[in-house]
Amino acid sequence: MGGECVLGASDSGQEASRDTWFLQDWKAGKFLIKGSVAGGAVYLVYDQELLGSSDKSQAALKKAGEVVPPAMYQFSQYVCQQTGLQIPQLPAPPKIHFPIRDSWNAGT
């Protein structure tokens, strides 16, 4: 009986160290994912020159409005094919017209 208790105690110690290792790797993984997303966002802003003139920003916003809805539809169709799930048809996104040029530096 005494041997079983000692063996059980050593197993729980190994389990605890395994759990700690997993949590440390999980925290590092979350940090790397968040850092990658943030870095990608910074690169995208720089690459699309969104911090430049209002003409470029407005053109990029218009381009995103044209590209994103079809991409989301294609992705949802892919998910349906891969998983066999049926995603209900969503209503069309509202049309948003926000002229950046008219409000650029309007508060100063």
Domains of the chain by residue range: 9-47, 50-84
Would you state the pLDDT for residue 36? 94
Measured over the CA atoms of residue 79, residue 83, residue 84 and residue 85, the dihedral's sign is: negative
Contacts of 61 (CB under 8 A, 6+ apart): 98, 100
Strands, E assignment, 1-108? none
Q: Are 62 and 16 in contact (CB under 8 A)?
A: no
Q: Indicate the average pLDDT of the chain.
A: 75
Would you state the pLDDT for residue 96? 77
CA dihedral 75, 77, 82, 85 (to 10 degrees): 120
Query: What's the rounded Cα separation, in Å, for the pair 18 and 10?
Result: 12
Q: Where are the alpha helices (DSSP H) in 48-99?
A: 54-83
Q: How confident is the model at residue 4 (pLDDT cuts 50, 70, 90)?
A: very low
Q: Say whether pTM exceeds 0.75.
A: no
Q: Are 80 and 87 in contact (CB under 8 A)?
A: yes
What's the residue count for the chain? 108
Average pLDDT, integer, range 39-48: 86
